[in-house]
Structure 1
């Protein structure tokens, strides 16, 4: 018997498997992690907005990354910590759809933003004399608008294709709602959804990987050819941290999405990697960029000192 997707439909997320002794420690750990993610990312956002010397293409592109990270963290953590403390893994279908949409917007946004940042570093390092002429304010605004347009249009289409399906199951196979787990609830033919899912994976994962490989190959070639040791060290340091962030997101996301298509993959491994996509990038991004980017690090220190001094007056 088919069940129409409606506000009355309740779905059950995979159990967390926590014993009574670990409920409150897990609740406190999840809450603290979420608060730290929000604090660090808001600190980067406020610093970039406050410091005029950071109003450059690199940091304006970086400004979008904390926004995306906070969307992903907010889609995941509040529902998680609530279900931990209440021991209730039920979620309404509209809430599940909303969570899936926001989580996919986060993942897609991060890939596109990191790709745009790689392009910016490529122009800055390989064509330093032409950088200001190429990365104009007009072009920067256009890049940002394209990022969010592609992101939202792809994810709205993904969720629209999902919502047209009728469901006859209510058990979500993951710890949070996402497109692959919601597809497994359907009793109808999901061929169109599967093809569109593969299209988005190839476009986003493959496209971002090609951009990163090309830009970093050119950056590496330029760094090897240059005779300026300081410039080479600064370029490698900046690009190294960027590459770490990208690889964490790319590998975990790719393995998580592909694992849904193979029954032989361990559900525990799939869930662990799926959660890591939502925990590590939002937590590590502001720390990595805050510590490895000298200008941002200095501006954060100045902002904190200014607030401390103001509070004492």
Structure 2
């Protein structure tokens, strides 16, 4: 098939292989989860933006997390909801839309790690160098960290998807419930060795760097806490780090599960479900675990909630 013609044509998305009754139940559950994700993450962003007391490096850097969660959910869940109510033979999308979805899905997954890494750096400086914190975490530094978190992801994912887009195509069925990089290069009959090598290297480097950075920062934080005799400061540090670590562990579990299941062809549907959970569980739990555990944000939300009750 001519490559230009293919780019202007439709591709069929295989989707989830479930019964119509199960599709309706799944639709309701996923829709409720999607609404909660959007409301909670947007709500936290509004709270931080509106309250000048929350315009601190820790909270400003945290804003990247709900923004990324919104992108990750919005790029996948609406399309999934539509497909759940559409017959298997009619789940068409254009190739361009498929590429766009694949790009933002991988951008979401990559930025999850880079954002949590810059947040870990902020916690490291605050706990290990508290006296130098104001001079290190300046507005200029926050801009640099933000650009690094998003810039690295944008470039690396751009190369990843670009390597797949360059290929000619001989197939028109996406063997998945959404478009991702693997789905794109599997449409080709060409040699995809470069795609596999870059994709594997990209994944290994991302996870190794992410895990290594977290281990390094938390080991240093733990050593500082062990040496310190300030129980109040240690308690605050442990609470903050536990919250951040909980978010990171949930991300790793949800991210690793579909990767592991990819190696077992008999668990195709389980892998698809795990991929959906990666776009539902972290974005849904992050506002609860991280947002509401932050004392300033929690107090602001409770104050707003009480105000609405009293006004009634």
TM-score, scaled relative to structure 2: 0.91
Alpha-carbon deviation of 1:179?
1.0
Residues 1:251 and 1:288: Cα distance change in structure 2 (over 3 Å): same
Deviations 1:222-264 (A, max 9, x none): 222222222222211111121121122123323433554x355
Number of positions where the alignment pairs a residue of Structure 1 with one of Structure 2: 309
1:126 corresponds to: 128
Distance in 1 between residues matched to 2:103 and 2:114, nearest whole Å: 16
The correspondence of residues 1-313 of structure 1 with structure 2, limited to 5 A, is 5-19=6-20, 21-87=21-87, 88-257=90-259, 259-260=261-262, 262-263=263-264, 266-306=267-307
1: CA distance between counterparts of 2:7 and 2:46? Answer: 40
> 1:305: how far off?
4.4
The root-mean-square deviation of aligned C-alpha atoms, in Å, is: 2.1
**1:8-29 alpha-carbon deviations (Å, 9 max, x no partner):** 132222333123x333332222
Question: Deviation per CA, 1:82-118, whole angstroms, max 9, x where unpaired?
Answer: 1112334333222211111111111111110001001
| Matched position secondary structure for 1:187 | coil
Moved >6 Å (runs of 4+):
none
Contact between 2:128 and 2:221, CA under 8 Å: does it hold in 1? yes
Cα–Cα, structure 1 residues 85 and 9, in superposed 2: closer, same or farther, change >3 Å? closer
Q: Any idea what SS the aligned residue of 1:155 has?
A: helix
Shift of 1:152: 1.0
Gaps (5+ residues) in structure 2? none
Shift of 1:176: 1.5
Q: Distance in 2 between matches of 1:255 and 1:189?
A: 28
Q: TM-score, length-normalised on structure 1? A: 0.91
* Structure 1 position 201, deviation (Å): 1.1
**CA distance, structure 1, for counterparts of residue 246 and residue 307 of structure 2:** 31
CA contact (8 A) 1:241 1:289 kept: yes
SS of 1:186's equivalent in the other structure is coil
Deviation of 1:2 after TM superposition, in Å, equals 7.1
Query: What is the SS of the residue equivalent to 1:176?
Result: coil
Q: Is the 1:111–1:250 Cα contact (8 Å) retained in structure 2? A: no
Does the aligned pair in 2 maintain the 1:180–1:257 contact within 8 Å?
A: no
How far residue 304 of structure 1 moved from its aligned partner, in angstroms, is 3.9
- Whether the aligned pair in 2 keeps the contact of 1:174 and 1:271 (CA below 8 Å) is yes
The 10-residue stretch of structure 1 (89-98 or 53-62) with the greater mean CA deviation from structure 2 = 89-98
